[in-house]
Amino acid sequence: MSPMILGALAALVLILLLFSGMPVAFALGMTAVIFLILEDGIGSLDVVAETLFASLDEFALLSIPMFLVMGSAIASSRAGSDLYEALDRWLYKVPGGLLISNIGACGLFAALTGSSPATCAAIGKMGIPEMRKRGYPASLATGAIAAGGTLGILIPPSITMIVYGIATETSIGRLFAAGVMPGLMLVTLFIAWSIYKAKASGLDFNQPGKHFTFKQKIEILPKVLPFLAIIILVLGALYGGVATPSEASGVGALICILLVMIIYKVWQPAKLWDIFSSATRESVMLMMIIGMAGLFSYMMSSLYITQGIAEYIAAQDLSPWVLMLYINVFLLVSGFFLPPVAVILMTSPTLVPIILNAGFDPIWFGVMLTLNMEIGLITPPVGLNLYVIKGIVPDVELKTVLQGAFPFMICMLIAIALLIIFPQIALWLPEVLMGPV
């Protein structure tokens, strides 16, 4: 059987298992085992345990549970609401200050936690009711928070960037640096659209009746500045060559836990247990996906499916930009149905050799891939952020949330187009901080 037919059958089996409700990790593993047995018999199962272990035997993977502990500690406290409150106090007189406060808080909180759902929940609980009280349409209020939450997988430290770096043997430090400027660009596009929409709706930007003294603005800063300093210290240690991602994430997690204990008085054993148990659950889930995706990739490679697809695409003699268009469409569709980590692990072994052969930079492509995955977080049927927002405001219909999120998807597509036209948006900062490759 040809590699292309085998690949199509493997994809079909995987899709059917996913639609059955089976967890992503087990769907990947079961598909891999089925096709290994069909091709090489029951004896092929000898490599399953070895391949799973090899997929997880990577020192850099230690940074994932550490960053998750860091995010869990922050998400369990009032850090999100304090961050929102601090921005609101300083920006309430700025035109569009309430919108800027919400999207800015999403961007900063997302950078602290690396979790899109946690960002939506933490900022949305305060921001959505406040915007609706000020007359903002429910679609704009919910859409802005849903889209703002996606920034967590682009603005460093990003779990998906770590996974991509490990899967493709690409520098995680460079990937983190490459996400900064596109992240700021996306925040700017989000804010620009929100302000335009609010003005078109005839909303009052000045938040009448609201006033904060200079003292009130200053007194909130000690609660939020230490957490923002953590991001700077962690990234500074990475770019300065002082620490590896695993070392920096471990120190960041410890400092976050200490800050939560000191600033928010989280001393109770039950609350500390919740922090570690939540991080452990997420870590195990991600590690299972990583291990099973490694097995799935082994199956694809051993059956020559990956190489066959690459050869088929190369034989089409497509121009590099047409090829990138096809890849982007493929990634967008994949993101509709699968979580970002699964898409990265499943597709990068096939796509990265193809884009390297076409002359594209793997760091730049990592940012492109992540932007595509962001769109998947706010599109059904697996758009997790949509359902988190729906849980926060159950009186708002899901289609209303989706309508509000749609313009932000357009902003993301514009960001992808700008990144294609001007790749230095992603590549400039890594070159400045770490020199040319």
For the cut 90, the answer to whether the pLDDT of residue 59 exceeds it is no
Which of 105 and 190 is assigned the larger pLDDT?
A: 190
Report the distance separating Cα 96 and Cα 261, nearest Å.
Answer: 34
| The pLDDT of residue 285 | 85
Sign of the C-alpha dihedral computed for residues 323, 152, 154 and 187 taken in this order: positive
Residue 223 has pLDDT above 90, yes or no: no
Beta strands in 247-381 (DSSP E): none
pLDDT above 90 as % of the chain:
9
Do residues 367 and 179 touch, judged by C-beta distance below 8 A?
A: yes
Region 288-295: mean pLDDT is 85
What's the distance, CA 349 to chain centroid?
Answer: 19
Q: Quick one: pLDDT at residue 382?
A: 65
pLDDT exceeds cutoff 90 at 425? yes
Give 346-373 as a DSSP string. Answer: HHHHHHHHHHHHTT--HHHHHHHHHHHH
Q: Which residue has the tokens 């400045």?
A: 432
Please give the Cα distance from 256 to 279 (Å, whole number).
13
- Reported as type and span, the H/E element at residue 146 is helix 138-149
Residue 242 DSSP label: S
Distance CA 351, CA 347 (A): 6
Question: Would the pLDDT of 306 be above 70?
Answer: no
Could you give the CA distance from residue 158 to residue 44 in angstroms, rounded to a whole number?
36
Q: Assess whether pLDDT exceeds 90 at residue 14.
A: no
Mean pLDDT of 414-429: 92
Tell me the domain boundaries of the chain.
59-286+315-434
Task: Quote the CA–CA distance of 429 and 133 in Å, as a whole number.
Answer: 40
The secondary structure of residue 155, as a DSSP letter, is S
pLDDT digits (tens, 9 = 90+) for 173-189: 899 889 989 999 999 99
The pLDDT value recorded for residue 416 is 92
pLDDT at 361: 92
Q: Output the CA–CA distances (angstroms, integers) from residue 199 to 103, 135, 138, in the order listed.
A: 17, 12, 15
The residue-averaged pLDDT of 214-237 equals 83
Of the pLDDT bands very low, low, confident and very high (cuts 50, 70, 90), residue 118 is confident
Single out the residue of 71, 87, 183 nearest to residue 127, CA to CA. 87
Tokens 């990138």 found at? 324
Res. 366 pLDDT band, cuts 50 70 90 = very high
DSSP 3-state of 174: helix
Distance CA 90, CA 268 (A): 33
pLDDT at 101: 82
Q: Which residue has the tokens 């990739």?
A: 297
> Which one has a higher pLDDT value, 94 or 376?
376
Question: Cα dist. 374→195, 207, 363 in Å?
Answer: 21, 31, 17
- Which residue did the predictor score with more confidence, 162 or 314? 162
